[in-house]
């Protein structure tokens, strides 16, 4: 989608022009601010928010802090980043639990924003934290919304309260009220009420939502909004704020290519924090929202913290140590390569992971071309080898390669390419393990990214090298900026309940760095 | 209740002025951007209008309003919004991202067609989302259409589509509408699945229309959606839903101009009768007046 650069791409382009300048004139700042305005508008940030934002950035950019700074351009990037974080709500916030159970959470939002799916995700997320959520089907409007919630509840493995069949019959206020009583009796500690989607201008349905709110007095009212919404975000958010007065926002469909616009608008206009982001169709594609990380994502400073967390959650430490050992001693085999690859696959979409690296947005083109099924093919090739071949790739002569190609449904060329790549990769790994810096095309050394192993493994599989300049520049810039941005989130008690998803401390990061063999 | 935002509201201040001045232009630009026209289209409209105003040497904002309406109408009317459903059976594939109202649109569309005495069968090829089949079944019933359900949960959507077309051919049903699962345009695997559904149907008969459903509240991302769906599903027409909300769907002009795909249907409410053909005149009237 080359014609449609998103917010990140646009801003990266703007900053690139700025970075080459040593000193900023008022005209430079104006030009940049105009570009930012356009970029934000194209990313669907609401007009009034854009105006406000650009005027603040402009004021600060022309002030002392920039003219006295060592690198003015860098300073402007920093200002934009600061302002983005401020708008997005500053500190990350968590759900406020009621002192006396059950905690009642009500979901509201436009039709098709993804409330019902989100109810399931939220319930599953809470259940994983040893809560006992109860889903309540109070959307009696949309055909079969109740059935959908039932299915979702089953998938999430949580209880559901659905006394009414829905499809336009029944009183949602009564259902919600009964649900709270039911939860008290049965000792569910969290009640999640799914309400009917409504348009911001529909007074009657809005009243219904407000009645539900009055009847159950929820501890949290979450406003679910589609990340793809345009300028209407402001109107909608205001209407809902007046109608039901939500306490927090959930951003859904953040996995599409629209990112950031609506988040900025809603947070800025309503002053309500964004609590969660929903990033996919699976019930696990749900994460707490971190304003600073989102700002970094928007500015292409990468999202190292999330990356590390994903890595920590899915990486087997012993396994990684063993592999690091193997690199150092040159006993890394195709067998290890295979298990590494499988572990990598466990961590989820490689594309997503790469996208979190600083500067990765500069490689969007390459990312788009990156074919995940390549990994499956590679797996197939390795699995078609005998154990001996995997351990001693040297024995792979012509006829063996033909057999492997046939066994894996690929061609001899593919097999050759894999063997070559493997040799290159293991050579590179050896350098890394010995403390050197690998010569990875398109990637400079990234001090803030203790992920040398991952980079080494993934990178060589990419076809074709590309002049790394833009990416490198962004990466270097990111290194300084993430260093600064990382701290608040790491120290700020994290977001997770019971501390299971607390941001990694400096120590943890250091040890991660160590066990990844850097 | 928040007063619903409208272009006309935003324009009112501007048109009530005595003359056209710098503020007018800025207000116009802001108003167009707020209606989701996007920066590109907004710029070109403003440039056009500035030229016309200079050409006719007018200073009356009322003239400007008329010109704005004419410009918008003209630009929207460049493409032919007629639905082509002459084939028998006419197969209509409905695609779009999640939550735009595909299933609802199909229900309304079925009603619309049965109202004209056509027989309709809908195919529930959204085998992914929980309870999507039931939702479609409810709508089909309301719309007076037959329904082909998947025989087991998680069945390949292409096979449901195949069975739907087969049934239409066997029973001589006029129009077969196929519902597909919502998918974000960035999911290449799911987009490829659409290509498969297309290929499978094309083996049986020609596809009359591929309708891309767009939510009026969508912003500039609508363009990215349209491009991806055109590439993978060969979209032939756009359906704009939820126009009864506060959003005005200005982005459709950008979509229509960039892609050359006409808007064919417009959904404006939750009732089953709230689906109409697209008339630029009415659309622009809703925007400007």
CATH class, range A2-87: mainly alpha
- Long-range CB contact pairs, A125-130, < 8 A, 24+: A125/A286, A126/A190, A126/A497, A127/A156, A127/A157, A127/A158, A129/A496, A129/A497, A129/A498, A129/A500, A130/A498
Contact A230 B251 (CB under 8 A): yes
| Contact indicator for B269, B225 with CB cutoff of 8 Å | no
Q: Could you tell me the pTM of the whole model?
A: 0.68
Contact B1 A201 (CB under 8 A): yes
Task: Show the tokens assigned to B147.
Answer: 């329904």
Matching CATH topology for A103-308 and A313-433? Answer: no
Q: Does A2 contact chain B (CB < 8 Å)? A: no
Q: Does B220 contact chain A (CB < 8 Å)? A: yes
A1, A149, A229 ranked by CB distance to B224: nearest: A1
Helices (H) and strands (E) in chain B, counts: 11, 8
- Least confident range from A148-162, A246-260, B128-142: namely A246-260
Q: How far is A51 from chain B (nearest CA, A)?
A: 10
What residues of A are in contact with residue B36 (Cβ under 8 Å)? 44, 230-232
What is the enclosing helix (H) or strand (E) of B238? strand B237-241
Residue A191 clears pLDDT 60, i.e. is over it: yes
Q: Which of A314, A300, A330 is nearest to A10 (CA)?
A: A300
Place of tokens 């539900």: A212
| Contact indicator for A320, A453 with CB cutoff of 8 Å | yes
Q: How far is B57 from chain A (nearest CA, A)?
A: 30
| Contact indicator for B95, B194 with CB cutoff of 8 Å | yes
Phi, psi of A441 (to 5 degrees): -65, 135
- Where do the domains of chain A lie? 2-87, 103-308, 313-433
What is the enclosing helix (H) or strand (E) of B175? strand B175-180
For the segment B156-194, what is each residue's pLDDT rounded down to a tens digit?
999 999 999 999 999 999 999 999 998 888 777 888 899
Res. A60 pLDDT band, cuts 50 70 90: confident
**Residues 184-203 of chain B whose Cβ lies under 8 A from any Cβ of chain A:** 184-187
Mean pLDDT for the stretch of residues A351-365: 55
Contact A229 B219 (CB under 8 A): yes
Helices (H) and strands (E) in chain A, counts: 24, 8
CB pairs under 8 A between A and B: 170
Contact A230 B220 (CB under 8 A): yes
Q: Does B262 contact chain A (CB < 8 Å)? A: no
Residue A105 clears pLDDT 90, i.e. is over it: yes
**Residues 190-229 of chain A whose Cβ lies under 8 A from any Cβ of chain B:** 199-201, 203, 206, 226, 228-229
Average pLDDT over chain B, rounded to an integer: 86
ipTM score for this prediction: 0.77
Mean pLDDT for the stretch of residues B215-221: 82
Give dist(CA A106, CA A104) in Å, integer.
7
Res. A14 pLDDT band, cuts 50 70 90: low
What residues of B are in contact with residue A1 (Cβ under 8 Å)? 224, 227-228
Q: How far is B59 from chain A (nearest CA, A)?
A: 27
Return left, alpha or beta for B190; rule: phi > 0 is left, psi -120 to 50 is alpha, else beta: alpha
Q: Does A461 contact chain B (CB < 8 Å)? A: no
**Residues 464-493 of chain A whose Cβ lies under 8 A from any Cβ of chain B:** none
Q: Which residues neighbour B26 within 8 Å (Cβ) at sequence distance 6 or greater? A: none
Query: Which pLDDT belongs to residue A355?
Result: 58
Pairing of the two strands B207-215 and B263-267: unpaired
Mean pLDDT for the stretch of residues B26-40: 85
Give dist(CA A245, CA A243) in Å, integer.
6
Q: Determine the topology of domain A103-308 in CATH.
A: Rossmann fold (3.40.50)
CATH class, range A313-433: mainly alpha
Give dist(CA B124, CA A447) in Å, integer.
51
Please indicate whether residue A468 or residue A365 has the higher confidence score (pLDDT).
Answer: A365
Give dist(CA A72, CA A66) in Å, integer.
5
Query: Which pLDDT belongs to residue A468?
Result: 44
Give the residue ranges of DSSP H helices in A43-128: 47-62, 64-67, 72-87, 115-127
What residues of B are in contact with residue A150 (Cβ under 8 Å)? 130-131
Query: Which pLDDT belongs to residue A10?
Result: 61
SS3 content of chain B, % helix, strand, coil (to 5): 50, 15, 35
Phi, psi of A375 (to 5 degrees): -65, -40
A44-66 as b/e, with b when 16 or more CB fall inside 10 Å?
A: bbbbebbeebbebbbebbbeeeb
Residue A222 clears pLDDT 60, i.e. is over it: yes
Contact A258 B98 (CB under 8 A): no
Return left, alpha or beta for A185; rule: phi > 0 is left, psi -120 to 50 is alpha, else beta: alpha
């Amino acid at each position: 989608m080359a014609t449609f650069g998103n917010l990140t791409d646009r801003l990266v382009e703007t900053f690139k022009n700025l970075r080459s300048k040593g000193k900023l004139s008022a005209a430079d700042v104006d030009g940049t601010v105009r570009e930012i305005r356009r970029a934000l508008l194209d990313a669907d940030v609401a007009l009034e928010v854009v105006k406000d934002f650009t005027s603040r950035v402009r004021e600060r950019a022309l002030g002392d802090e920039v003219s006295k700074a060592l690198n003015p351009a860098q300073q402007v990037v920093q200002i934009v980043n600061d302002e983005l974080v401020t708008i997005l709500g500053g500190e990350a916030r968590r759900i406020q639990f009621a002192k006396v159970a059950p905690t009642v959470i009500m979901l509201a939002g436009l039709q098709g924003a993804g409330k019902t799916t989100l109810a399931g995700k939220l319930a599953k997320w809470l259940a994983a934290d040893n809560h006992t959520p109860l889903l309540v089907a109070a959307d009696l409007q949309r055909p079969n919304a109740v059935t959908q919630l039932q299915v979702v509840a089953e998938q999430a493995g949580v209880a559901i309260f659905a006394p009414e069949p829905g499809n336009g019959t029944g009183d949602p206020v009564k259902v919600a009220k009964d649900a709270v009583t039911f939860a008290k009796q049965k000792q569910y500690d969290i009640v999640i009420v799914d309400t009917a989607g409504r348009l911001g201008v529909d007074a009657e349905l809005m009243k219904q939502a407000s009645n539900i709110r009055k009847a159950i007095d929820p501890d949290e009212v979450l406003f679910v909004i589609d990340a793809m919404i345009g300028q209407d975000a402001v109107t909608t958010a205001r209407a809902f704020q007046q109608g039901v007065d939500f306490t927090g926002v959930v951003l859904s469909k953040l996995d599409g290519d629209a990112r950031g616009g609506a988040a900025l608008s809603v947070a800025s206009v309503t002053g309500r924090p964004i609590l969660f982001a929903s990033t996919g169709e699976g019930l696990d594609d749900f994460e707490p929202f971190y304003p600073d990380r989102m700002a970094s994502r928007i500015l292409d400073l990468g999202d190292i913290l999330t990356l590390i967390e994903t890595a920590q959650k899915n990486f087997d430490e012993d396994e990684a140590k063993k592999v690091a050992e193997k690199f150092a001693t040159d006993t890394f085999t195709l067998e290890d390569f295979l298990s590494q690859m499988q572990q990598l696959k466990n961590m989820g979409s490689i594309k997503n992971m790469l996208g979190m690296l600083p500067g990765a947005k500069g490689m969007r083109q390459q990312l788009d071309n990156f074919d995940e099924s390549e990994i499956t093919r590679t797996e197939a090739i390795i699995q078609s080898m005998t154990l001996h071949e995997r351990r001693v790739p040297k024995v792979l002569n012509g006829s063996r390669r033909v057999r492997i190609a046939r066994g894996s449904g690929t061609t001899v060329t593919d097999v050759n390419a894999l063997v070559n790549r493997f040799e290159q990769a293991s050579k590179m790994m050896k350098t890394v393990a010995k403390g050197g810096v690998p010569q990875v095309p398109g990637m400079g050394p990234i001090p803030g990214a203790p992920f040398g192993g991952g980079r080494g493994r993934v990178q060589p599989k990419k076809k074709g090298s590309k002049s790394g300049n833009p990416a490198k520049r962004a990466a270097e810039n990111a290194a300084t900026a993430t260093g600064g941005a990382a701290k608040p989130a790491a120290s700020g008690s994290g977001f997770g309940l019971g501390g299971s998803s607390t941001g990694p401390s400096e120590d943890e990061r250091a040890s991660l760095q160590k066990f990844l063999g850097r | 209740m928040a007063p619903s935002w409208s272009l006309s509201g935003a324009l009112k201040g501007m048109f009530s002025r005595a003359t056209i001045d710098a503020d007018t232009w800025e207000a116009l630009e802001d108003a167009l951007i707020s209606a989701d026209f996007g920066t590109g289209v907004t710029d070109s409209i403003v440039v056009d209008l500035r030229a016309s105003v200079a050409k006719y040497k007018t200073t009356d904002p009322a003239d400007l309003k008329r010109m704005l309406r004419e410009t918008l109408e003209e630009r929207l009317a460049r493409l032919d919004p007629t639905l082509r459903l002459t084939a028998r059976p006419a197969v209509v594939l409905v695609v779009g991202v999640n939550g735009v109202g595909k299933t609802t649109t199909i229900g309304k569309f079925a009603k619309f067609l049965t109202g004209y005495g056509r027989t309709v069968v809908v195919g529930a090829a959204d085998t992914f989302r929980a309870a999507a089949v039931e939702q479609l079944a409810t709508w089909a019933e309301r719309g007076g259409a037959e329904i082909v359900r998947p025989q087991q949960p998680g069945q390949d959507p292409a096979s449901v589509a195949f069975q739907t077309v087969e049934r239409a051919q066997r029973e001589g049903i006029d129009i077969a509408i196929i519902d597909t699962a919502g998918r974000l345009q960035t999911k290449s695997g799911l987009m490829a699945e659409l290509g498969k559904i297309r290929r499978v149907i094309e083996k049986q008969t020609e596809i009359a229309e591929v309708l891309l459903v767009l939510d009026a509240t969508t912003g500039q991302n609508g363009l990215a959606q349209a491009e991806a769906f055109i590439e993978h599903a060969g979209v032939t027409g756009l359906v704009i839903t939820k126009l009864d909300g506060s959003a005005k769907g200005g982005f459709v002009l950008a979509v229509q101009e960039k892609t050359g795909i006409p808007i064919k249907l417009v959904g404006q409410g939750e009732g089953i009768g709230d689906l109409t053909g697209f008339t630029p005149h009415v659309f622009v009237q809703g925007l400007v007046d």
